[in-house]
Amino acid sequence: MNIKSLLLGSAAALAAVSGAQAADAIVAAEPEPMEYVRVCDAFGTGYFYIPGTETCLKISGYVRAQFDWSSFDRAGGADDFDWNARTRGLLTVNAKSDTELGALASTITIRTWAEGDATQNSLDLDEAFITLGGFRVGYGYNYWDLGLSGETDNLGSNRINQIGYEYNAGAIKAGVFVDELTKSYSRGGAAFNAGTYGTGGINDGINDNVGVEGQISGVLGPAQLALLGGYDIAAEEGSVRLMGTAEIGPGTLGAAGIWTSGVNAYYDVAEWTVAVEYAAKITDKFKLTPGFQYFWNTGVDAGGSFTDGDAWKAGVTLDYAITAGLTSKVSVQYTEDDNAADVWAGFFRLQRTF
């Protein structure tokens, strides 16, 4: 073998080794398999599996723009007119999964709104609670928030911390909850709210009061009925409400009645009240809801007892679905009260729901 052949062979060997090393340097690692989001249909529409888990998640909410107005007819002929623009955003996250103890769920709702200048903006925890089977614990709206569909009725509403259980047998439901109640009430004046009534008073060193509420509801043919009761332990007063709806003609007839022994956290507007409305479906997009409510004994003394004075309220609400996910609402209401100024009030609302 001569020198020339030896050099050529060595060069070829070096080229082969260099090529192999270069090839090794640019070989990319195999990509890991991607896990796409999967639809979860076990709990209804809108849910999807959190990747890598068996928990289903749903995100929903709305953006609302609203213009309110009111006109007060005060004694002596003086009239006051006011209007206000408000914008609200609400975001809800629901998480659900199946367990050996039943469906485990949690809900978090954040609400924010703005009106006027920046000093009037607010961020609020609207709801946050856990459910397991029929058990529920946390903060949110209770049974008293379930009212008629229009904007005329005033049938009570609470957002509170509570713990309890609801039994669901399909056509019949029954639930009992223990509630943490606020120590302030919207009726009765400063003396009443300071705790000058009842055994020990409402503010006898306890920051929060306790109440118990229970409801039984059911479907009877074309009608749905719900009987609700609540007892405020600190106030030593309670309220009872019967509410029902029925499909009649082109719409839904709703009616409710409340009796209250005295001012309490569940209901404090009047000793007696009845409300009625009819939500008429004019077209697939348009709904017209006239309503009326009468109140007996709307006055309140410093001890939390109702006194003389009646009131009534009448109005109409118009709902129109502009397109999928976008609705509008117009409300006009009139209230006449023996113990307060007569009021015209209403609003126009646009809401985008997702």
**According to the model, what pLDDT value does residue 26 have?**
58
pLDDT tens sequence across 44-88: 999 999 998 999 999 999 999 999 999 987 655 557 889 999 999
**According to the model, what pLDDT value does residue 198 have?**
39
Q: 113-117, 169-173, 237-241, 294-298: which has the minimum mean pLDDT?
A: 113-117
> Which two tokens mark 59?
């995100």
- Rounded-to-integer distance, Cα 292 and Cα 316, Å: 9
pLDDT tens sequence across 184-200: 555 544 434 444 443 33
pLDDT tens sequence across 262-284: 988 899 999 999 999 999 999 99
pLDDT at 205 over 50: no
Task: Give the three-class secondary structure for 136.
Answer: strand
**Greater confidence, 154 or 6?**
154
Q: Which of 136, 83, 135, 86 is nearest to 111 (CA)?
A: 86
**According to the model, what pLDDT value does residue 295 have?**
97
pLDDT at 165 over 90: yes
pLDDT tens sequence across 231-265: 998 888 999 999 999 999 999 999 999 999 998 88
**According to the model, what pLDDT value does residue 193 have?**
44
**According to the model, what pLDDT value does residue 172 have?**
96
- Domains of the chain listed by start with CATH number: 140-323 (2.40.160)
Among 3-17, 64-78, 204-218, 246-260, top mean pLDDT goes to: 246-260
- Rounded-to-integer distance, Cα 160 and Cα 144, Å: 11
- Rounded-to-integer distance, Cα 93 and Cα 259, Å: 36
pLDDT at 13 over 80: no
Percent of the chain with pLDDT over 70: 80
Instruction: Compute CA distances 15 → 9, 18, 22, 212, whole Å.
Output: 10, 5, 10, 88
The residues with which 353 forms a beta bridge, in sequence order, are 62
Give the pLDDT band of residue 302 (cuts 50, 70, 90).
confident
pTM attached to this predicted model: 0.82
> Which two tokens mark 48?
């999807």
**Greater confidence, 75 or 131?**
131
**According to the model, what pLDDT value does residue 36 have?**
72
pLDDT tens sequence across 132-156: 999 999 999 999 999 998 999 999 9
Q: Do residues 269 and 239 make contact, with C-beta atoms less than 8 angstroms apart?
A: no
Percent of the chain with pLDDT over 90: 68
Q: To which H or E segment does residue 18 belong?
A: helix 3-25
**Greater confidence, 322 or 16?**
322
* 79, 267, 303, 74 alpha-carbon torsion, rounded to 10°: 0
Mean pLDDT of 28-32: 59
Phi-psi region of 188 (alpha: psi -120 to 50; beta: other; left: phi over 0): left
